[in-house]
Structure 1
Amino acid sequence: MKLNLKRPIVFFDLETTGVDASKDRIVEISMVKVMPDGEEIVKTRRINPGMPIPPEATAIHGITDADVAGEPKFAQIARSLEQFIRGCDFGGFNSNRFDLPMLVEEFMRAGVEVDDFKRRKFIDVQNIFHKKEQRTLVAAYKFYCDKELEDAHSAEADTRATYEVLKAQLERYDDLENDVDALAAYSCRAESADYAGRILYDEKGQEVFGFGKYKGRSVAEVFRIEPSYYAWMMNGDFPLYTKKVITEIRMREKMQ
């Protein structure tokens, strides 16, 4: 089934040094840019993370320090990468919780603005899958496409499998609308103000904490009654974009 697209959508997958967006780095990125007419443009690139790749990470994706020694740092390709994905919606497998926050952090460290991302739609194929079948990507590929996923945990193989799974999901489920806005809404979990899910929106559209002792409490209210909590977050190992969001909230409240 051909996706019904109003603008291009980029399916992407990252291989990294670990799972902490504030500390870990990308070692490989693969993107399949699907145009409204169905044309597919594939870009896969290994990246020197500027830090040792832990053995446990290599055990998953097979990429070693030697494999990326001669590759560019993310900052060297950030602007061309941003141009490639500019104006696109996004799709991935567990991308809303992992790949997207990691990618945003890398862009911010490279000094590349990502405010445009907030105007894009994000389809997380894993969320659709879990709501429908409760499986992993390997099982999803077998279940929906009746194929074995060769080279699992290579960025390009996982990216292509994710794209194929979404098309198969649209074929299988009559209640899934072939529309990026609808798919993004269906595959979204709790809407968040940041990409890491630390700051959420409540039913009134107000920013609330999604973690810790103030979970569910208004961010603005907490900063009013305990200003030191803002300082604690800014000095802590929180993602850069999360810090950007709480700073905007704090400055907005000061101007009122």
Structure 2
Amino acid sequence: MSWHTGRLIGFDLESTGLAVETDRIVTACVVGCGGGEPVASTTWLADPGIEIPEQASAVHGISTEKARADGRPAAEVVEEIVHALVESVTDGAPVVIMNAPYDLTILDREARRYGITPLTDLVGDELRVIDPRVMDKAVDPYRRGRRTLTDLCAYYGLRLDAAHTADADALAACRVAWALAERWPQLRGTALDELHAVQQQWAVQQAASYAAYLARTPGREHEAPSVRPDWPLVPHQARGTA
């Protein structure tokens, strides 16, 4: 049986911004789907403890005022997210995350910020991640166009309602992962352990290719050194800020 026909656990979060070392979780979702069982999801709304920039609110729809009024303390939310993912990993399910280094690194830094044992410290080498962004680039590298979650859903003929909400995006990532495996035999024919390992290799290659592109693009040369090859998250010891 291929990994994609079993239970998949989707994870997505929306945050105060794109700086994984310093930005905070606003909303998150962990959803289980497939494997012959009903879809089951848990969502969270956190008060991140800082102002939510207007640019971020415009993306996910949560204002500072709403987060403060309706959100739960960030430390509680982070601990529950980590616990939910630990349960999934312990059950042997892969965690599907579109652009995994973004979500997992923010979650890791949030856990450390609040004195919570991070996910990777709890599950170690048991974590198996499926990243549709990395896989799609690897199996179809010359296809033109953007490869956001919205783009991948459109390309693979999948429905995505309420994009940029954590629950919709987490479920959509699982659907894209399933569609990728259905279309590409080399993905569905690869054992989960091996697929996790090869995605690390693909991520390194893709980062190098993107950095080279930036280095030769006038006006963007300065961006090349900031491209990181880390996958599925940026290790804590590699942080550039305190």
Provide the TM-score with structure 2 as the length reference: 0.71
Which residues in structure 2 correspond to 1:183-198 (within 5 Å)? 183-188=195-200, 189-190=203-204
Structure 2 CA distance for aligned equivalents of residues 35 and 28 of structure 1: 23
| 1:127 equivalent in alignment to 2:134 | yes
- Which of 159, 168, 171 is equivalent to 2:182? 171
Check 1:241–1:71 CA distance in 2 against 1; reply closer, same or farther (3 A cut): same
Are residues 1:101 and 2:105 paired?
A: yes
Q: Distance in 2 between matches of 1:156 and 1:2?
A: 22
Are residue 61 (structure 1) and residue 65 (structure 2) matched?
no
Inter-CA distance 175–113: structure 2 relative to 1 (3 Å threshold): same
What SS does the aligned partner of 1:131 have? Answer: helix
> Quick one: which of 236, 242, 248 aligns to 2:237?
242
Q: 1:91 maps to which residue?
A: 96
Compute the RMSD of aligned alpha carbons: 3.0
Shift of residue 60, structure 1, vs aligned partner: 1.5
In structure 1, give the amino acid aligned to 2:174: Y
Q: Could you say what secondary structure the match of 1:63 adopts?
A: coil
CA drift at 1:35: 7.8
Of Structure 1 and Structure 2, the greater helix share is in 2
1:63: how far off? 1.4
CA spacing shift, 1:138–1:78, aligned 2, 3 Å: closer
The reply on whether 1:116 has 2:137 as its aligned counterpart is: no
Q: CA 1:174–1:92 in structure 2 vs 1: closer, same or farther (change >3 Å)?
A: same
More relative contact order, 1 or 2 (CA 8 Å, 6+ apart) = 2
Query: What amino acid is aligned across from residue 183 of structure 2 in structure 1?
Result: R
- SS of the equivalent of 1:175 reads helix
1:144-171 C-alpha deviation (Å, 9 max, x unpaired): 1x13422111111111111001111111
Structure 1 gaps of 5+ residues are 192-210, 216-238, 245-256
Change (3 A) 1:150 1:37: closer
Residue in structure 2 matching 1:159, options 170, 173, 187: 170
Which structure's CA Rg is the greater one?
A: 1
User: Contact 1:138 / 1:148 at 8 angstroms: preserved in 2?
Assistant: no
SS at match of 1:45: strand
CA deviation map 1:96-116 (0-9, x unaligned)? x21110011111112121212
* Corresponding residue of 2:75: 75
Deviation for aligned residue 1:243: 6.1
Give the C-alpha shift of residue 59 in structure 1: 1.6
Aligned residues: 198
Amino acid at match of 1:47: A
Counterpart of 2:124 in structure 1: which amino acid? K
Residues 30 and 159, structure 1, Cα contact 8 Å, conserved in 2: yes
The residue aligned with 2:153 is 141
Task: Measure, in 2, the Cα distance between the counterparts of 1:23 and 1:105.
Answer: 8
Alpha carbons of structure 1 residues 140 and 82: separation in structure 2 relative to 1, 3 Å:
same
Is residue 47–residue 73 contact of structure 2 (8 Å, CA) maintained in 1?
Answer: yes
CA contact (8 A) 1:30 1:42 kept: yes
Deviations 1:169-202, CA, capped at 9 Å, x for gaps: 11101111263223323333239xxxxxxxxxxx
Q: Which amino acid aligns with 1:73?
A: P
Do the aligned partners of 2:9 and 2:95 also contact (CA within 8 Å) in 1? yes
Aligned residues with identical type, % of pairs: 26
Letter in 2 for 1:124: D
Counterpart of 1:15, as a letter, is E
Partners of 1:50 and 1:151 lie apart in 2 by 25
Does the 8 Å contact 1:108/1:241 carry over to 2?
no
Q: What is the aligned partner in structure 2 of residue 41 from structure 1?
A: 40
- The verdict on how the C-alpha distance between 1:147 and 1:35 changes in structure 2, with shifts beyond 3 A counting, is closer
Distance 2:52 2:18 in 1: 12
